[in-house]
Copies of this chain bind each other. A is one copy, B any other.
Amino acid sequence: MPTIHDVARRAGVAPITVSRVITRRGYCSAQTRRKVESAIAELGYVPNRVASSLRSKRTSLLALVLTDITNPYFTQIARGVEDTASDSGYTVIYCNTDESLLEEQRYIQVLLQNRVAGVLLVPAAGETRSVELLQNNHTPVVVLDRGLTGARADLVLSDSLGGALQLVRLLIGLGHRRIALLNGPPGISTADDRLAGYHQALDEAGIPQEMRLVLHGGYTQESGCELARQALSHHPRPSALFAANNFIAIGALRHVQDAGLRVPADIALVGFDDLPDALITFPFLTVASQPAYEMGKRATELLLSRLSGDDESPPRQIVLPTELIIRQSSGQPLASS
């Protein structure tokens, strides 16, 4: 494979001149540029970014560390990240942690070794070690989707508390008083915030503690099934379920139907996260939709501004609003209320 020297020889210039043409930095006459460009074309020269990175100490790699790209919510985030990064000449590495702190830390290590320019991190747990490790090694991080108490880092998330508040208020407005929360893992800020929103809405309505039911599990369909099972076996049975994410909602729906109950006639169901329009066969679930693409975009913009070096301001926190989308699963006002 030809190197910058081969190009230089062919064009009758010094290697550094070729470098200047490629990187578009520094002056260079139109004629020289043309000579160099044709030499590049003739040789089929492909600049070696590995060498360039070693010398310049900067790579054009960003990393997106998330829990599971299989969840459309994260897929949309990923797309927002990639589109934005790509527009600025960055390439994105992505890593699925499956909510495992061990996997997360293994990946962080690899990313540091590769000297990625910056990292977008959806933390596997409410742990600041990964963020600190990156920062100690001078790698800018933007934390995404989930807050991290104690970490001094940029943060982009959606308003989990507000979204939960809207959903639970909606249910209360429909006459529900026994509302079960099928939540994600405690310690994950999205789960904690949705729990807080749940309680706040119930407090507002003066619904007493003993009518509340909070169950914790993973953000998976299986967990949704299991949590719904627990909720249904409770006496008295809740009249509405609030699922803390899309997978839990679907698992819960599945279980409720298998148990012979109809949604929303027998029990109402609302959840977090919407599915992209192109994936919904029948619009059914009432949800608080998070602006996932926008979150990925904003987070990447923030990261890029940190990379460019002209943004030394203190850590910023961007909270985007959720959107309440009312469909059938939340049902009609309860007759009995």
Contact = CB atoms under 8 A, between A and B. Distances in A.
A137 B60 CA distance: 21
B49 A115 contact: yes
Contacts of A115: 48-50
Contact of A278 (B59, B78, B247, B284): B247
A76 interface: yes
Nearest to A59: B50
Contact of A50 (B44, B54, B110): B54
Q: How many copies of this chain does the complex contain?
A: 2
Contacts of A111: 91
Given A72-B279, A79-B69, A285-B281, A113 B47 contact: yes
Nearest to A247: B278
Nearest to A62: B93
Interface residues of A, number: 57
A70 interface: yes
A41 interface: no
A334 interface: no
Interface in A33-47: 44, 46-47
A138 interface: yes
A69 B75 contact: yes
Given A50-B114, A246-B279, A281-B281, 18 more contacts: A1-B137, A47-B113, A48-B54, A50-B115, A54-B54, A70-B79, A72-B75, A72-B279, A75-B75, A82-B94, A91-B110, A92-B93, A93-B93, A221-B278, A247-B278, A251-B278, A281-B284, A281-B285
Interface of A: 1, 44, 46-51, 53-54, 59-61, 68-70, 72, 75-76, 78-79, 82-83, 86, 91-96, 109-115, 136-138, 220-221, 246-247, 250-251, 253, 275-282, 284-285
